[in-house]
Amino acid sequence: MSDADLNALALLYHEFPRPGKISVESSKPCATQHDLSLAYTPGVAEPVRAIAADPANAYRYTNKGNLVAVITDGTAILGLGNLGPLASKPVMEGKGILFKRFAGIDVFDIEVDAPSVASFIETVVNISPTFGGINLEDIAAPQCFEIEAALQARLDIPVFHDDQHGTAVVMCAGLLNALEVQAKRLDDIKLVCLGAGAAGLACMRLLIAMGGNKANMTLVDSKGVIHSARSDLNAHKQEFAKETEMRSLADAMLGADVFIGVSGPRLVTAAMVQSMAVRPIVFAMANPDPEILPAEVHAARNDALMATGRSDYPNQVNNVLGFPYIFKGTFDARARAITQPMMIAAAQALAALAREPVPAEVLAAYGLDALTFGRDYILPKPFDPRLLERIPPAVAAAAAA
């Protein structure tokens, strides 16, 4: 199918048979006068009084404990940039579908037209009593760091910026398995990360927490290697500035074991891949067009392991493997925050699942005859039903530890 055909089909999908992708449905009967007396007045007064007496009762008598707010200001929509909150609504509705389909979690999508970071934060704080959790989405760096930190400090419900931490969890799970396949060690690899925004920094921080060696990590942004002599670095990038003679991406890629791309299309060349160490690992995760195409990587190196963010290539690094199940585990544990140990537990559970035999129903869903842990299968498939069985309990256990 051509891109033009796919684009036309996408518009039809979003418009018919009714506009949009999500709706609100009643979870209780409301067919008789008796039902109505329970759903609204006078019966509704009783749970109101119970919640006023003890706010924890909101989790017993309302959907608060299974309701996530997917909130954005539209400043970093997918790979499209700052197109504003209204244009982000299809993406936020899409997030709602994924929460519901994969973890049974309800979502209200909220697109905020805020004139400042402070006003965005206040808006979220003011509406937070409605929800059991906050999923921040498509908010540009570096303001996303300030927003997340402020909300985590002020709210008693979990706040999760999926572009940061969801990406980091799934990437780390995939990388653990890629290292296993390529016979390399996390604490020993030379790693290059292209992209020093929200996703790139979160990926590196989680890798370090899981045993990665920060000294062996080189971050590269649009101006080149992030080194200590640069005077244009914000505080978040300064955290990873290193003393080095390397200045360009090509410099950094020389002898690298692992490339992590969370940047933009076509920024990596075949020559750069050829300069990498033996059995290289290339995670080119820019969407929809990766930093380098798999065909180019495999033409340059027959010993490379390749992953992208796309579903039409093997080894898709897809956030849907993370956020629905992380929130489900968080809700099951009634946790007030999503902590680093919970994210590590999710990554490790994801990695472990990919090493198990793949059920026939998963093979059928993808039209495959076989799927075995190895160079072309390092992460579970999104429609694997075992994800709901494995990831939330691991997250809940880490929350309780």
Instruction: Give the residue numbers marked as catalytic.
Output: 40, 95
Eight-class DSSP state of 227: B
Eight-class DSSP state of 128: G
DSSP letter string over 194-220?
E--SHHHHHHHHHHHHTT--GGGEEEE
In one-letter notation, the amino acid at residue 13 is Y
Distance CA 129, CA 119 (A): 17
In one-letter notation, the amino acid at residue 111 is E
The answer to whether 297 and 306 have CB atoms below 8 angstroms apart is yes
Count of Cβ atoms closer than 10 Å to residue 77 Cβ? 23
User: In the beta sheet, which residues pair with residue 225?
Assistant: 220
Respond yes or no on whether the N-terminal peptide bond of residue 288 is cis (omega within 30° of 0). Answer: yes
The answer to whether 328 and 388 have CB atoms below 8 angstroms apart is yes
Helix, strand, coil shares, percent, the chain, to 5: 45, 10, 40
The answer to whether 137 and 162 have CB atoms below 8 angstroms apart is yes
The answer to whether 215 and 123 have CB atoms below 8 angstroms apart is no
Cα dihedral 302, 303, 305, 308, rounded to 10, equals -30
End-to-end Cα separation, the chain, in angstroms: 49
Among 75, 98, 29, which residue's Cα sits nearest to residue 322?
98
Among 340, 341, 339, 338, which residue's Cα sits nearest to residue 327?
338
